Amino acid sequence: MLSQGSRSFRWLFCVGVFGALVACSKHADEAAKPAGPPEVEFAVAQRSDAPLVTELPGRIEPYRTAEVRARVDGIVLKRAYEEGQVVKAGQVLFRIDPAPLKAQVDAAQGALARAQAQAAIAHDKAARYKGLAATRAVSELEYAEAQSAERQAAADVVSARAALETAQLRLGYATVTAPIGGRSRRAQVTEGALVKEDAATPLTTVEQIDPIYVDFAQPAAEVLALQRALKKGQAAALTGQDIGVQVILSDGVAYERPGKLLFSDLAVDRATDNVSMRAVLPNPDGLLLPGMYVRVKLSHAVQQGAVTIPKGALQRDRHGATVFVVKADNTLAAQPVAAQTLAGDQWLVTSGLTGGERVAIPGMQTLEAGMAVKPVPATKHASSVTDSAADTKPTERTKG
């Protein structure tokens, strides 16, 4: 026969088991309930004026280049600069043996002294003959010859003085200086080398890199398309300081200082069918170096009434570009679009949307046409998310 305590324990055990079974049944019922539609962020396609941005390949070029050459023959005694360092205009770069040139200066000084002495004698003679000719002590012919000799001696003095100045200039050329300020290149000669004034190889090169040029080219077809858009009133041309030039470095980072478009060539290159362009950029830190390959974002027109959508809303596959439009019943519809140009973090849509549509921004979600969703207005951060895996490398009219 069970005691009172045993009966109480059995009763409590049964109650606990029953409670656990009820709880499990409740969780199973909750799990069986269907989940609601997933939340999907959206942005409204906007219609506004937007800059037309074209991305083009470019190459950095020095602002000025000066080849430093020997202007006299001689032996290089010293390289007076550090290769690769910034030099100032007039800074000494090389010293050539001045001894032979100094000897030429001394010889020229002697020749000038002789010419001056001869000129003094000729002058005195002409002066004496002038008085004698007046008294007919000498003939007119002799007096004329004395005057001619005086003029010849004076001319010899001028020639001798010019020869001396030339010799002094050549002596100065023994000290080779930088013709411009800029970054120096590697020296092409060493101490002890014999250099010639007519040699094809320069001693070194100095390049001014602040400011600095970027050369790039735009396909002629794009130029024609822009001209047609301007003619139809679909776009407005930018001029002067309004034309935007931004350089993207090879590591994908944008150069912090904007550039200024200097010129666009008036002719099309026959070999490439491109129009050459050049911009100038400030380069005080020397970050941009001649020869660097960069990408240039050029904005020289504004598309009027353009439809723009966030960059993250566009998806690409082998069939083209697509966006998912959130319909009135909160289901998705796949809408093919045409979009080849980026304006900041916005795609410019040229067909497929009219403005006002709600376009989904999938982020990491996988969306399908006909899918029911719970639309949520996108935050600014979400609207600038990069394209999904189907569009890993969108282009801004990129030309490579």
Q: Phi and psi for 295 in degrees, rounded to 5?
A: -110, 140
* pTM reported for the whole predicted model: 0.67
The yes-or-no verdict on residue 98 having pLDDT over 60 is yes
Hey, what are 158's tokens? 């001028």
Q: How far is CA 310 from CA 124, 128, 344, 383, in A?
A: 97, 102, 10, 5
Bridge partner residues of 349 (DSSP)? 307
Task: Please confirm whether the linkage preceding 37 is cis (ω < 30° from 0).
Answer: no
CA distance 199 to 245: 41
Residue 35 DSSP symbol: P
| CATH numbers and ranges of domains, the chain | 43-61+210-391 (2.40.30.170), 73-97+174-202 (2.40.50.100), 99-172 (1.10.287)
Within 10 angstroms of residue 145's Cβ, the number of other Cβ atoms is 15
**Mean pLDDT throughout 271-275?**
87
CA distance 312 to 239: 31
Tokens 């069986």, located at residue: 32
Q: What percent of the chain has pLDDT over 70?
A: 82
Q: Which of 71-85, 119-133, 259-273, 286-300 has the lowest mean pLDDT?
A: 259-273
Bridge partner residues of 309 (DSSP)? 347
pLDDT in tens, 70-86: 999 999 999 999 999 99
Which residue type sits at 233?
G
Helix, strand, coil share (%) of the chain residues, nearest 5: 30, 35, 30
Q: What is the Cβ-side half-sphere exposure of residue 252, based on CA atoms within 13 angstroms?
A: 1
* pLDDT band for position 396 (cuts 50, 70, 90): very low
Segment holding 321, helix H or strand E = strand 320-326
SS3 203: coil
CA distance 132 to 137: 5
Residues with Cβ within 8 Å of residue 216, at least 6 apart in sequence? 56, 57, 58, 59, 276, 277, 278, 279, 296, 298
Beta 194-195 vs 74-79: how paired, if at all? antiparallel
Q: Shortest CA distance to 315 belongs to which of 397, 396, 392?
A: 392
Residue 220 DSSP symbol: H
* pLDDT band for position 381 (cuts 50, 70, 90): very low
pLDDT in tens, 198-251: 888 899 999 999 999 999 998 888 778 777 767 766 566 666 666 788 999 999
pLDDT of residue 366: 86
Question: 28 — alpha (psi -120 to 50), left (phi > 0) or beta?
Answer: alpha
pLDDT of residue 2: 47
Hey, what are 301's tokens? 């027109």
CA distance 157 to 161: 6
The yes-or-no verdict on residue 94 having pLDDT over 50 is yes
How many H helices and E strands in the chain?
A: 5, 21
Which residue type sits at 100?
P
The yes-or-no verdict on residue 113 having pLDDT over 60 is yes
Hey, what are 212's tokens? 């600095």
Tokens 């032979």, located at residue: 100
Q: Shortest CA distance to 183 belongs to which of 161, 212, 160?
A: 212
CA distance 321 to 389: 13
Q: How far is CA 245 from CA 55, 219, 367, in A?
A: 10, 17, 37
Segment holding 60, helix H or strand E = strand 46-68
CA distance 91 to 206: 11
The yes-or-no verdict on residue 378 having pLDDT over 80 is yes
CA distance 242 to 236: 12
